[in-house]
Amino acid sequence: MTITFRVDDGHNVLSPSPAVITPDQLGALRDLLGRHVVRSGVAMIVPIHGDPASGSFEIEVRVCPLALASIARCFDWDPAVITVVDEAQFLGRRARIWQSEPGGDIKLGLGLNPDAAPELEVANGNAYAILASLGLDEESCGAVPMSEVRQRLMDPRIRRRLDDDPHMTRYVEALTTMAALKPVDGEYHLAWA
């Protein structure tokens, strides 16, 4: 089993309704994102589970680095898609694309994660070790303000403990990147489940 650490902005209440998209529109978006990857070298698709070819999948796509008009063109200027992408860009979030069952609707909605934030999927044992090293309660799910994570990562005792453990050093970069993100509004939290 695994525990996923992610950045949470707390804006999960009033998300716009998901838009229904076609496989061809999804393909056009993937082509656009692929061209951007070639130019920038930055990954634009974050797989969550499954594969679009399997009929049941979920991915998150980075939309903030792209112009709204270039994304809208992939979806034939669908107002529902424009609403979702505009909100994602305004909040600095990714867009989420999913299909629950083979043959079902493909939907585009607001993602849970900030656009540039990494996610860290860790085996339970290592996740509990990360939490213990940071001086946090070793619970299977929870959240703490990112300012607290920043403070803990700057604490020389905690940082030394993380850097000295060869199993933890590979996670420090992702945690540091998460802690360095600045929200559009409010404060980010480090959430895990």
Residue 7 lies inside a defined structural domain of this protein: no
Which residues are CB-neighbours of 167 under 8 A, at least 6 positions away? Answer: 126, 129
Q: Are residues 187 and 152 in the same domain?
A: yes
Residue pLDDT, tens place only, 177-189: 899 888 777 788 9
Q: For residue 59, what are the domain limits?
A: 13-114
pTM of the model: 0.77
Residue pLDDT, tens place only, 55-94: 889 999 999 999 999 999 999 999 999 999 999 998 888 9
**CA 71: distance to chain centroid?**
19
Structural domain total, the chain:
2
Last residue of a domain, one of 52, 81, 114: 114
Residue 104 lies inside a defined structural domain of this protein: yes
Last residue of a domain, one of 114, 143, 174: 114
Sheet holding 19-21, edge to edge: 19-21, 106-114, 93-99, 56-61, 45-51
Q: Are residues 101 and 128 in the same domain?
A: no
Q: Are residues 23 and 96 in the same domain?
A: yes
- Residue spans of alpha helices (H) in the chain: 23-40, 68-74, 79-91, 124-133, 146-154, 156-164, 169-180
Q: Closest Cα to residue 17, out of 99, 139, 155, 109?
A: 109
Last residue of a domain, one of 91, 114, 137: 114
Q: Are residues 127 and 40 in the same domain?
A: no
Residue pLDDT, tens place only, 100-114: 988 899 999 998 888
